[in-house]
Amino acid sequence: MENTRNTAREWVHGLTALILGLFLLGISSGLGVIKNIVDLWGAVLFVPEYPAVVLRDIYIGWRSWSRNIAGMNDEVVRLRNENAKLRLDLARLASEKIYTSSDQTPRTAKVTLRAPMSWWSEIRIDRGEQDKITQGLPVFSNGYLVGRVSNVSAMSSWAELITSSSFMIPAVIEETRELGVVAGDGSGAVYMRYIPAGRAIRKGMKVSTAMIGEQLPPGLPIGQITGEYTIGSDGYATYKIEPGADLSGFFTVSY
């Protein structure tokens, strides 16, 4: 009996609440006072909601900041690639300029002496001051750098080879723009030294002279990475280079 009475009471209250809800729904859309109540309730809730508003603003700010950072990183990568490409183009232009500085075609010189005792260090060529040879002028074989003029006389000149142990020039790996120093070992091998260990240097990457050297113009092709390398205790790697020119058997050079 008590249970039935409770159930009936629940029905009465429930239906009353529903009717009241419907009544509110029906009349409130046309009443201006509801807007005032909504505003008042919003003002009351402003205080407890304030931390959520602050947190939301912080979150939005952080999200915007992280998006900007991601965008800036992309921009940096894009600019870095563009910069590397421009450097390459500049180096190529400089290289071409060498050939076109005096006349349009590279001039050649014969190798007149290559002493067995200094086989990997120097050669003598049959061109001198009369042929506008100057000290420091790069000499090429098969389009690749083989050395530079170290001593000039009237009719002939001496050129130091890149395999010489005293030959050191700044160079760059074209694909990664890593800078290092190309040096010979006096025994026919050529190395690129002082590359920080752990860089993504792969076999076949091209090596050319770098812009930072004043003695030689940038972009002169030297050879390519062989893949052999050693890492020193100082944290720098030394990569072996395969010269583009056949250094053991060339009879003429161009300059």
Partner 1 sequence: MLLVILWLLQDLLTVFIGGGMQIPGLFMLGLVYKLLVDEGSEDSLWAIWSAFAGGVLWDLRWIGIPGFFTLGYVAVVMIVIQVWGLIPPQGRISGMKLLVFVLMEISQLLPPLLPVLILGGSAGWSFFLTQQGYSLPAIIFCMYIYLRRVKNIRNSVPTPPHVLIGSSAGDSR
Q: How far apart are CA 204 and CA 224, in angstroms?
A: 5
**24 vs 77, which CB is nearer to partner 1?**
24
Q: Is 181 in contact with 170 (CB distance < 8 Å)?
A: yes
Decide if residue 62 touches partner 1 (CB under 8 A): no
Q: At its nearest, how many Å lie between partner 1 and the CB of residue 53?
A: 6
Long-range contacts of 11-15 (CB under 8 A, 24+ apart): none
**23 vs 251, which CB is nearer to partner 1?**
23
Decide if residue 32 touches partner 1 (CB under 8 A): no
Decide if residue 26 touches partner 1 (CB under 8 A): yes
Q: Which two tokens stand for residue 131?
A: 């042929």
Q: Is 74 in contact with 82 (CB distance < 8 Å)?
A: no
**17 vs 79, which CB is nearer to partner 1?**
17
Decide if residue 80 touches partner 1 (CB under 8 A): no
Q: Which two tokens stand for residue 206?
A: 């091209």
**29 vs 233, which CB is nearer to partner 1?**
29
Q: Report the b/e string of 42-71 with b at 16+ CB within 10 A.
A: eeeeeeeeeeeeeeeeeeeeeeeeeeeeee
Using CB under 8 A, which of 34, 72, 86, 212 touches partner 1?
Answer: 34
Residues engaged in binding partner 1 (CB under 8 A): 2, 6-7, 9-10, 13-14, 17-18, 20-26, 28-29, 34-35, 37-38, 41-42, 45, 48-49, 51-53, 55-56, 59-60
